[in-house]
Structure 1
Amino acid sequence: MKINENFMKTSTLYDTIQALGAEAIQWFAKLLIIIGAIISCLAMFGYFGALCHTRILLYIYSIALSLTIIFEFVGIIAMLSFHNNLWEFYDAGFTKIFQGAYRNNQTKTIEIMSKLEREFHCCGVNSIGDYIKSDYRIPLSCYPNQVPQEKPFNQGCAEAIVIWIWNELPLITGIFGTILLIEIFVVVASLVLGVAIAHSANTEIYYKL
């Protein structure tokens, strides 16, 4: 999400007016990075707890990882909720950018929009009609080979971008779900190990007595 070219293009465009759509994508990417860093730090508690047979460290690890799992579930639910509003965010944001760019002759924004039209094979916000209704010149980026004699793209860029983003999310969600299953297994394993260490210590004391 942070380095993919298409994600960067959409984010650059929406950062022009700080649209919610791009902020949500970047927020989720940062969230994944933060969670990864936290889990890496937490792993040290589990590692030393198991290595030194220290129940306290194992229990701290289990509790902290359980809280992380809950936090991740909240993140997944938030992303699923975001999906329902994804179209509204991008349609409204794209319309505002489109109108402002051509009305104020913002060449940088127009250039970014042209790149998106070429990349996603789309034209305007909802269709080529956005240019016609506003009496703007239809850019070459609206045509497959940038030749005006050809038939322009039918799909609007707002719809094309939303579909592309949502097609990318299942892979991310699948990886996220796999990590969650591993984390749940690790929580259970660390608790079982903690109980085993306690049982082993009690047995040792019993035999000494």
Structure 2
Amino acid sequence: MARELSCGVAFSRGMLLLLNIIFLLIGLVICGIGIYIKVDTHFNDVLTKLSHVSDFKSQSLGFLAFILIGGGLFAVLISLLGCLGTLRHNRCLLYSYAVILIVLVILQLAGFITAIVFKDKLESVYKDGLTQVFTTALDNNDTVVIDAFHDLEKSLTCCGVNGIQDYINHNVKPPTLCFENPVKGCPKTIIDLLEKNLPIVAACASILLLFELLGLIFAFVLARALKNADVEIYSSKPGEVISGIIPGRRRNYRNI
């Protein structure tokens, strides 16, 4: 029995360590992307310009960098908590780690459901915010934002927010791309691109959710195994060992 317990604990420890190493790497990558967005001069200039538009402040893409950095650091801390609890056989840390994963799973499921239910509303808010930024840039001849839109148009093969008419309405010469082929507005192009790659996004989200569920399961399994590990009960008399469960027992994890 002790041998089976030892194998089970070893397997749980190994899987939990592997999952937390994966979490750690993912967190570092996400944090790195956020830092790159903040330190990149051109991108940061554009975000600064965008954040100055009053109706777009709450939706500013500049918050994306902070979200990525914060999310990445949080993932790193959670992975370190899991590794520490696993290596030190600390049930308190393991249970804390598991509870945090439960909260994350619930929040992610709530986010997925919200995105599905309010999909049309989210698209409308995104398009309205982008329209405000683009219109303000054209009215004020803000070359930084306009150049950023031109880069976006080239990369996505799109034109303005609603199409070439955006440039015509503001007496601004449209980029050549808008005349070459019938192209859609950039928000519609981005939404279509996201929907096209939705299976990939869903697969990545499902894999992440699976990792979290596995981490949750292995954390509980390991904590439970540690609780039920072989114990030796020592009496107050030197050298005397008493079998059974009594208050103040001394645990012996020799088989772990």
Whether the TM-score (by the shorter chain) exceeds 0.5 is yes
Cα RMSD after superposing both structures: 3.3
Highest CA radius of gyration, 1 or 2? 2
- Residue 196 of structure 1: which of 228, 243, 248 is its match? 228
How far has the Cα of 1:81 moved from its partner? 2.5
- Whole-angstrom CA distance in 2 between matches of 1:169 and 1:10: 24
Counterpart residue type for residue 81 of structure 1:
T
Structure 2, unpaired ranges of 5+: 1-29, 235-239, 243-256
Tell me what 1:63 maps to: 96
The residue matched to 1:205 in structure 2 has which SS?
strand
Q: Counterparts of 2:44 and 2:112 in 1: how far apart (Å)? A: 17
| 1:107 to partner: Cα distance | 0.8
- 1:174 matched to 2:206: yes
Judge conservation of contact 2:94–2:223 (CA < 8 Å) in 1.
no
Which residue of 1 is the match for residue 69 of structure 2? 30
Check 1:79–1:106 CA distance in 2 against 1; reply closer, same or farther (3 A cut): farther
- 1:48 maps to amino acid: R
Per-residue CA deviation, residues 101-131 of structure 1 (Å, 9 max, x unaligned), is: 1111111111110010011111110222222
Aligned twin of 2:85: 45
Residue 128, structure 1, aligned to residue 164, structure 2 = yes
Q: Is the 8 A contact 1:10 1:22 kept in 2?
A: no
Question: Structure 1 residues 22 and 165 mapped into 2: Cα distance closer, same or farther (>3 Å)?
Answer: farther
Q: TM-score, normalised by structure 2?
A: 0.61
* 1:107 equivalent in structure 2: 143
Q: Percent identity?
A: 20
Question: 1:139/1:121 Cα in 2 relative to 1: closer, same or farther (>3 Å)?
Answer: same
Q: 1:89 to 1:96 in 2, by over 3 A?
A: same
The equivalent of 1:158 in structure 2 is 187
- In 1: Cα distance, 2:102 partner to 2:219 partner: 10
Aligned to 2:218: 186
Label 1:17 to 1:156 Cα distance change in 2 as closer, same or farther (>3 A). same
**Residue 208 (structure 1) aligns with:** 241
